[in-house]
Structure 1
Amino acid sequence: MTDTLTGGLVVQTRMFRKVLVANRGEIAVRVMRACEELGVRTVAVYSEADTDAGHVRYADEAYNVGPARAADSYLDQEAVLEAAQKADADAIHPGYGFMAENAKFAARVEESDCTWIGPPSDAMARLGEKTKARTVMQNSGVPVVPGTTEPVEDPAEVEAFGEEHGYPIAIKAEGGGGGRGMKIVQSPDEIEDQLAAAKREGEAYFDNDSVYLERFLEAPRHIEVQIVADHHDNVRHLGERDCSLQRRHQKVIEEGPSPALSDDLRERIGDAARRGVGETNYTNAGTVEFLVEDGEFYFLEVNTRIQVEHPVTEEITGIDIVKEQLRVAAGEEISFTQDEIEVEGHAMEFRINAENAANDFSPATGRLETYDPPGGIGVRVDDAVRQGDDIGGDYDSMIAKLVVGASDRTECLARAERALREFDIQGFHTVIPFHRLMVTDERFTAGTHTTNYLDEELDHERIERAVERWGPDEAEKSDDDEEVTEREFTVEVNGKRFEVNLEERGAPPVPTVEGDRGGMDRPEAATKDDSGGAAAPGDGEQISAEMQGTILSVDVEVGDEVAAGDVVLVLEAMKMENDVVAEAGGTVTDVLVSEGDSVDMGDPLIVLE
């Protein structure tokens, strides 16, 4: 591959030979498929928890980068760069999440022998950190929500902002996105706890505890504009997506085009997005997000990466955004003008998360006993799983994305209803019953919902009834069912993965041998006793983990008095903070876990007397 200089930038002039995808799950497979169609070989990285994950199976080669904890594997910059060097990759694609918006990592890739498939690190620094992005947009004449342009450290600063602008206030992580690292303050007495929580999430998810403030708009529409820019001063927008159906600021269903925008407002928002990123030497793909309320729009943030919901735009424009990322990074010019982009029909994306919607969308884990996705005209499924896979709680709860396209919104809803009915997943709860409810919900089908509809208006009993009606089949397997024993062996040479898989019917289970690291089967967690960390609980009231996860904070000590409903600790599962509460009052007699501990479902946490 040769290089040429264009406007002071080093620009590649030929397509890459081998791309390392610094991510996991469906987005890693999505990128690898685009690479394969362009004749580019692919490299996966994986943690110990992902030894047999779908993206590892799909890649041409794969390298272990560390243990299950993301901070020690997928977020380990040294390990990822070392894997790229071992694989002799000439480019790195970050996907979304993890290090996709980490400007420091992008700069390290730029300084290496690899090409960064994303925006330049300096543009990422200006737009990826929210306060800097707000300043850029203000200077470009794009309207912004009232807020701070400098990081906030002291609760007194939050209180002063509330006195000036009123409540509620959004405390947002600078490196955040998708609602993670954002806390809403309704009154002054919530400031200290919510500020600490936002900083903690920012550090945990984005390795950046810096936060800023915004006046929180309570009932807006959430509109985002897809951007692609190249090294030849071309900036295109590919229309908008409506992401207003959200739960706790996490997008649930996305669609395009928005049913809420007039043609005039649509054009103004698209032009604002192009104008804003055009001032920053931005290249590659990105998304400019806005809030729309009462016919006015306000800049929210820029996501300097590919988005989870990018397939919506691909379906209505016919443009493969990931291939455009690869071509732009290789120095090619965007092949279409703004006028040539045509938005046709309507598309929706449904995130298929491993969650029990009837139980406050709590994360679910288990084995995919049945995995039978839908098909037919206008139906696309992006995934990285197969029947028999184990779904753990180490990472995000999304296991697949269902994307439906049609000639108009009415047909799209009908096709989505059919596809969701066909989507058969057994082994644990997913949000499919919730989606089936929403595609017949009056507010959603009318397109009049706002970002607070799910949290504040939808009757939760309707969700419970949907899960009861359409949830997973709980019937147990017959005792006569023949056992299938899988024997999976992995060999690693210099961190590179090779595997052999064997399957036997009617064979006894594979025994676990202490210290055996050759097989892919991971032994169950040992029972905790007095000799190994946490003690077994006594006769008191036991508070146990309802899901696998990591202890973020322990809020009680031995001797504390707690009442029913009090929060005793915070457990992170699948990138969501979950308050663990006491079901009954009592005195704390044992605290069996500490901050940072990993726990499995059913593990004892706290004992009350």
Structure 2
Amino acid sequence: MFETILIANRGEIACRVIRTARRMGIRAVAVHSEADAGAMHVAMADESRLLGPAPARESYLRIEAVIAAARAAGAEAIHPGYGFLSENAEFAEACAGAGIRFIGPPPAAIRAMGSKSAAKALMEHAGVPLVPGYHGEDQSPAVLREAANRIGFPLLIKASAGGGGKGMKVVRSAGELEEALALAKGEALSAFGDDHVLLERYLTRPRHIEIQVFADGHGNFLHLFERDCSIQRRHQKVVEEAPAPGMDAARREAMGRAACDAARAIGYVGAGTVEFIAEGEAFHFMEMNTRLQVEHPVTEAITGQDLVEWQLRVAAGQPLPLTQQALRIAGHAVEVRLYAEDPARDFAPSTGRVEHLRFPAAAGGIRVDTGIREGDAVTVHYDPMIAKIIAHGPDRAGALARLDQALAATEIAGPATNLGLLRAILQQPEFRAGAVDTGFIERHGGVLLAPPGAAPRTALAAAAAHLLARRVGSADPADPHSPWAEATAWRMNGDGFQDLHLAEGEAVQVLRAFPQPGGLRLELPDGDAEIAFTVGPDGGLALQMDGRAFPARVLQESNRLMVFADGAAHALRLVDPLSPAASEGPAAGRILAPMPGRVLEVLASPGQSVQRGAVLLVLEAMKVQMRIVAPAAGTVVAVHCAAGDLVEDGAEMVSLGPG
């Protein structure tokens, strides 16, 4: 076995590999960019080596810098994680050339599956079922247009050289084809350095089911069952589970056999995932990811195996630890991806410092994989995933119940996140029944993406308790016995009370709080409440109200409150009724950045007349491209950015005047 390995990655996967390496007594070396010098994976590793500046192309994607770091650290092998260089055949060859073992498949296998077009041709020859489409090398507009008309609409455009939803567009009519091709090719070139695309028939209610395969250098192949990854946004997975709901033994055996056939056809070694799209009784090969997958923890949960350990053992020349016959499915596991993004703004990435972070305890079937700590920053340079939260139970219902409790115990403040969406998905009746497909979020968007309701009485009670607790003990030390200096709302005549003006959005509620020993009486819009509370050493609140006890937490910065209660977060603002009214919002003619990112192209110029819907510029963040269009006809007054500029969320980019 290796004595030292280098992990050519960052974030939660680097931390994940380090944990297994430490358990196996292997020294783990990390690498980092300048932006990641204080990152969690750097702190966990035995040592870390600087690669370069923050942009991935200048650090994590620099093959020569990674190889040099491995040599300097005395690493015998490199684990690429996923993303970055994990599916780069040149990197695998560079490792071999430097006498360093690549913990992954042979370069030839990576190349065979690196091009989706070539992979589909290979799979067709191997007898693996395919979705009808165009996988050719000729990328001329006329050929792509003719292929699209032959396949029919709706169809799917996919980047040939990559995955993760980058360069993937659904085209519902011929009129949408030209713009969709331009966007898909632009994203593919940016993400993978290759703008080749393929076209496929777009199945209307498909499921995304993938098979985890493993092979060693001794000719052994097996699969570790399936994962259902149908719940997606922007063609990227959000919820994954194993085994797949409704999967019977015959279909599992057929899909597992097809996946192993695909791996054999390319001489595979190591961990890989063969992805299928399934509709009705049919299933079709989509692609093979020649690496470990983000969602591998659900497979580990139901099999009891450590797939990173398997990778290390196979890379060291050992045979697979088990046979196909020895593998069993135990229970059910579900994983959700907690992203720094705003679902209400078309899942635009969100950045900023993580001001507060609490995860559920890793016990009772709960696992949390993360590379983020409280105080860390989410930046535009890397993937916006904050954590993966995984629950394992005796059956699907038990796993979902545990996961819902884990999400209710998760607290995060700082960047916007999809935490509310994740809880809404788990509570949706069709999901609980196992009726999932890749269009699930879009189809149920009206419910899943609905604005959060007003803060409930539990959240208002927690806010009131927090504010009163902060004021207790603030008497004037020069005259501590003066009734005028008390912070208990004492009044000469009648019961003492404190009016709290709390705003949520534009709505303001006035709560009247009457302090009492050990608590307060609170006049709420839907009825009065007697509240008892204590403040814990960590600042958390333990409240009793309406015949029930519940925990809560309130974070306060100036007049802003973030209230965590009953598994939800509510942003409130303490209003001074005597302060001047807030100024009006931004003018309608200001075009603001909908997300932080890099300006790729500016198409507008001062003095130009534009129609409603005209593209003004193209913005990219985390390899997602967004066209910024004019909200109404008018004249461009000023352009405040140039191609290559980094802009913050909400920054003014273009000023529009009347036409």
* Partner of residue 520, structure 1: none
* Partner of residue 567, structure 1: 615
SS at match of 2:309: helix
1:190 paired with 2:176, answer yes
* Partner of residue 113, structure 1: 99
The CA deviation string for residues 194-253 of structure 1, in whole angstroms up to 9 with x for no partner, is 222222212211222222221221210100000111000011100000001111211110
1:553 paired with 2:601, answer yes
* Partner of residue 402, structure 1: 389
Alpha-carbon offset, residue 81 of structure 1: 1.8
How has the CA–CA distance of structure 1 residues 467 and 593 changed in structure 2, closer, same or farther, with 3 Å as cutoff?
farther
The CA deviation string for residues 243-276 of structure 1, in whole angstroms up to 9 with x for no partner, is 0111121111000101132221111101100111
The CA deviation string for residues 368-425 of structure 1, in whole angstroms up to 9 with x for no partner, is 2221100230000001121121222221110100010000001111111111101111
Mapping for residues 132-151 of structure 1, pairs under 5 Å: 132-151=118-137
Give the letter aligned to residue 6 of structure 2.
Answer: L
Structure 1 stretch 65-74 or stretch 269-278: which is displaced more? 65-74
* Partner of residue 70, structure 1: 56
C-alpha separation between the residues in 2 aligned to 1:271 and 1:20?
34
Out of 477, 482, 494, the residue aligned to residue 556 of structure 2 is 477
Matched-pair contact (CA < 8 Å) for 1:248–1:455: no
1:599 paired with 2:586, answer no
Matched-pair contact (CA < 8 Å) for 1:358–1:467: no
Give the letter aligned to residue 581 of structure 1.
Answer: V
* Partner of residue 341, structure 2: 355
C-alpha separation between the residues in 2 aligned to 1:317 and 1:57?
30
Matched-pair contact (CA < 8 Å) for 2:343–2:449: no
Give the letter aligned to residue 338 of structure 1.
Answer: Q
Out of 430, 433, 442, the residue aligned to residue 455 of structure 1 is 442
Alpha-carbon offset, residue 89 of structure 1: 1.6
* Partner of residue 416, structure 2: 429
C-alpha separation between the residues in 1 aligned to 2:559 and 2:126?
69
TM-score (norm 2): 0.78
Q: In structure 1, list runs of 5 or more residues that go unmatched.
A: 1-14, 482-538
Out of 5, 23, 29, the residue aligned to residue 43 of structure 1 is 29
How has the CA–CA distance of structure 1 residues 161 and 52 changed in structure 2, closer, same or farther, with 3 Å as cutoff?
same
How has the CA–CA distance of structure 1 residues 108 and 578 changed in structure 2, closer, same or farther, with 3 Å as cutoff?
same
C-alpha separation between the residues in 2 aligned to 1:133 and 1:219?
24
The CA deviation string for residues 337-393 of structure 1, in whole angstroms up to 9 with x for no partner, is 000000110000000101122232222222222211002300000011211212222
Alpha-carbon offset, residue 474 of structure 1: 12
* Partner of residue 366, structure 2: 379
Alpha-carbon offset, residue 466 of structure 1: 6.7
The CA deviation string for residues 452-476 of structure 1, in whole angstroms up to 9 with x for no partner, is 121234315753237978xxx9977
C-alpha separation between the residues in 2 aligned to 1:284 and 1:594?
45
* Partner of residue 209, structure 2: 223
C-alpha separation between the residues in 2 aligned to 1:309 and 1:172?
21
Structure 1 stretch 329-338 or stretch 74-83: which is displaced more? 74-83
Structure 1 stretch 125-134 or stretch 200-209: which is displaced more? 200-209
* Partner of residue 443, structure 1: 430
C-alpha separation between the residues in 2 aligned to 1:559 and 1:480?
42
SS at match of 1:84: helix
C-alpha separation between the residues in 2 aligned to 1:608 and 1:50?
39
Give the letter aligned to residue 116 of structure 1.
Answer: F
How has the CA–CA distance of structure 1 residues 169 and 595 changed in structure 2, closer, same or farther, with 3 Å as cutoff?
farther
Of structures 1 and 2, the larger Rg is shown by 2
How has the CA–CA distance of structure 1 residues 152 and 260 changed in structure 2, closer, same or farther, with 3 Å as cutoff?
farther
C-alpha separation between the residues in 2 aligned to 1:383 and 1:302?
25
* Partner of residue 31, structure 1: 17
C-alpha separation between the residues in 2 aligned to 1:301 and 1:467?
44
C-alpha separation between the residues in 1 aligned to 2:234 and 2:138?
22
Out of 306, 309, 314, the residue aligned to residue 323 of structure 1 is 309
TM-score (norm 1): 0.84
* Partner of residue 534, structure 1: none
1:292 paired with 2:340, answer no
* Partner of residue 563, structure 2: none
* Partner of residue 515, structure 1: none
* Partner of residue 527, structure 1: none
How has the CA–CA distance of structure 1 residues 568 and 342 changed in structure 2, closer, same or farther, with 3 Å as cutoff?
same
SS at match of 2:451: helix
SS at match of 1:451: coil
RMSD: 2.2
Mapping for residues 510-525 of structure 1, pairs under 5 Å: none
Matched-pair contact (CA < 8 Å) for 2:601–2:643: yes
Matched-pair contact (CA < 8 Å) for 1:134–1:149: yes
How has the CA–CA distance of structure 1 residues 323 and 579 changed in structure 2, closer, same or farther, with 3 Å as cutoff?
same
C-alpha separation between the residues in 2 aligned to 1:213 and 1:474?
50
1:200 paired with 2:186, answer yes
Give the letter aligned to residue 176 of structure 1.
Answer: G
Matched-pair contact (CA < 8 Å) for 1:91–1:115: yes
Alignment length (residue pairs) = 536
C-alpha separation between the residues in 2 aligned to 1:409 and 1:136?
36
How has the CA–CA distance of structure 1 residues 467 and 106 changed in structure 2, closer, same or farther, with 3 Å as cutoff?
farther
- Using the aligned pairs only, state the percent identity: 45
Alpha-carbon offset, residue 150 of structure 1: 2.2
SS at match of 2:259: helix
Give the letter aligned to residue 17 of structure 1.
Answer: E
Structure 1 stretch 177-186 or stretch 578-587: which is displaced more? 578-587
How has the CA–CA distance of structure 1 residues 327 and 154 changed in structure 2, closer, same or farther, with 3 Å as cutoff?
same
Give the letter aligned to residue 434 of structure 1.
Answer: L
How has the CA–CA distance of structure 1 residues 468 and 348 changed in structure 2, closer, same or farther, with 3 Å as cutoff?
farther
SS at match of 2:134: coil
How has the CA–CA distance of structure 1 residues 586 and 35 changed in structure 2, closer, same or farther, with 3 Å as cutoff?
same
* Partner of residue 100, structure 1: 86
* Partner of residue 630, structure 2: 582
SS at match of 1:459: helix
C-alpha separation between the residues in 1 aligned to 2:608 and 2:443?
34
